[in-house]
Amino acid sequence: MTQPLIIQPQKTADACVIWLHGLGADRYDFMPVAEILQQSLLTTRFVLPQAPTRAVTINGGYAMPSWYDIKAMSPARSICEEELEESADMVIQLIEAQRQSGIDANRIFLAGFSQGGAVVFHTAYLKWQGPLGGVLALSTYAPTFSDVLPLSASQQRIPALCLHGQYDDVVQNAMGRTAYERLKAAGVAVTWQEYPMGHEVLPEEIRDIGAWLTKRLT
């Protein structure tokens, strides 16, 4: 397995963001975003893991970095939940590694774009037991969320920022909104932000993420 890209901050790290890329991308995809955020987050380490390369059914079986196989796009996403579970277990190992390095779990954040966000949602709200700093969900959805989320007390206390493009034609805006609504109904402190964009990341969005992280780290 490819080792995560670790971007150290200017000062001694006392916080960490574990950031998962989207389908077909790699660990370098969000390196520029991490470097921009570190200009103001001077003690925040970024850990950027890379998904295993595997055959993806919706892409004709072509192999690419993928956190889990997507078997069909509609009417609802059909995915390989076993592979998603494996990816979530990998994220938990990364959380534990950061805790062992001396980072308080309350200052560890999970971020994910598109498919990476689906893994982050699953990890934070269905698998991880204990405190976390929060979740950043970019242009993503929650294929493993049920209509009613049976959250533990610690899961309920994990805040989330959901960010989505109004014109996203890869992960429809409504799919992201559904994940947000289910978290909100479960009592999570979750915020929804929309941008005039497709399936991408905007500078304005990065600024909003930086402000959200800064508020929770100071």
48, β-bridge pairs: 5
**Interior/surface letters 22-41, b for 16+ CB within 10 angstroms, e for the rest:** bbbbbbebbbebbebbbeeb
Is residue 69 among the annotated active site residues? no
Per the confidence metrics, is the pTM higher than 0.85?
yes
Q: Which two tokens stand for residue 217?
A: 């780290």
Is residue 164 among the annotated active site residues? no
Q: Give the residue among 46, 45, 126 at the shortest CA–CA distance from 84.
A: 126
Of these residues, 14, 26, 78, 199, which one is catalytic?
A: 199
pLDDT cut 90: percent of the chain above it: 93
Domain ranges (residues) in the chain: 5-49+89-217
Task: Choose which CATH entry (3.40.50.1820, 3.40.50.1100, 3.90.850.10, 3.30.300.180) describes domain 5-49+89-217.
Answer: 3.40.50.1820
Q: What is the 3-state secondary structure (H, E, C) of 12-53?
A: CCCEEEEEECCCCCCCCCCHHHHHHHCCCCCCEEEEECCCCE
Residues of the chain with pLDDT under 50: none
Per-residue pLDDT of 50-87, as tens digits, reads 999 999 998 889 999 999 999 987 756 789 999 999 99
CA distance 30 to 2: 16
Of these residues, 21, 69, 164, 168, which one is catalytic?
A: 168
Is residue 114 among the annotated active site residues? yes
